[in-house]
Structure 1
Amino acid sequence: MNGPPPPLVQELAALGYALTHALYTEAKELLVKEGLSPRKAHLLGLLAKGVDLPSQLAELLEVHPSQVSHLLAALEEEGLVKRSPDPQDRRKVKLFLTPKGREAAARTEALWLAVFGRRLARLSPEEQAAFLRILRKLTEVEDA
């Protein structure tokens, strides 16, 4: 299989970037109104999903651990996150969302889903179903 023609790949890549940029820009504007940067919102979302070690956060956010430490300090100061020693390994720190942090994480997730939902509303139900099938296919892990 030779793959799609280069002009098609180029247009799809440009459109994929444009969509990502549009979603990010709209979400960023709304997050600022919530008092959060996109990175802080992403970190809260990861904590809400159960990521509880700073090293894991740094890896998933693709940042240096010191950047995560600064983000955590800010979120802790805002009353959104708590740190406590890992009961099984006192050298490690476990992270927890406070009730206020859980509320903020839920609001930011709802915000993101609303932004994406508005874009998806431009598609008919049939197009939405096709888009879902296509994205599932494109995100499948290929055998090495």
Structure 2
Amino acid sequence: MNAWPLLTRIWKLQRDLVQKAAPCIDELGISPRELMLLAFVERQPNPSGLARELRIPTPSVSHALKRLENQGMLERQSDPADLRRFNFALTAAGRKTLARGQDCLKNSFRGSLRRLEPDEQREFERLLRKLTEDES
């Protein structure tokens, strides 16, 4: 199998979904990238760890986290393992914004999924899960 056409289609699907959802996400006062940060901050609350996990430059992550903090969506907390560092946690406003942003993306994706029959949708989900599972 030639991987390049498949990779470009995956990239195009992701790009198209975000572009379709962007106006809805913009209404929340955040960018799609900031929505992704909100979604990952609970799993990886440390700024440098978040940058590594999402493969985004640390200064870009720090700038976006500060903006989200200033908007009241995140709060800074001391890292109990190392008091010289800090972590971020979602506030109630951040959780609400995250839920609404995820709805924006789900609605965008739902439109694309309508092209598939229900059994194809289930198979697509199964295959994506299989391809994105961590190899252990």
Quickly name the TM-score band, shorter chain normalised.
0.7 to 0.9
Superposed CA offset, 1:10-48 (max 9, x none): 54344333322211211222211221111111111112x
Count of aligned positions: 136
Say which of 35, 49, 53 aligns to 1:56: 49
What is the percent sequence identity of the aligned residues? Answer: 36
Structure of greater Rg: 1
Quote the residue 2:9 is aligned against. Answer: 15
Is the partner of 2:33 in helix, strand or coil? helix
The offset of 1:97, in angstroms, is 0.9
Q: Please give the root-mean-square deviation of Cα atoms over the aligned residues, in Å.
A: 2.1
Quote the residue 1:24 is aligned against. Answer: 18
Structure 2 residues without counterparts, runs of 5 or longer? none
Normalising to structure 2: TM-score of the pair? 0.84
Normalising to structure 1: TM-score of the pair? 0.80
Say which of 11, 21, 34 aligns to 1:40: 34
2:125, 2:81 → 1: CA distance?
Answer: 42
The offset of 1:75, in angstroms, is 0.8
The offset of 1:79, in angstroms, is 0.7
Is the partner of 1:34 in helix, strand or coil? coil
Superposed CA offset, 1:60-81 (max 9, x none): 2222222222111111111111
Structure 1 residues without counterparts, runs of 5 or longer? none
Question: Which range is displaced more, 114-123 or 34-43?
Answer: 114-123
1:74 aligns with 2:37: no
Superposed CA offset, 1:86-105 (max 9, x none): 23321110211111111111
**Letter paired with 1:28:** A
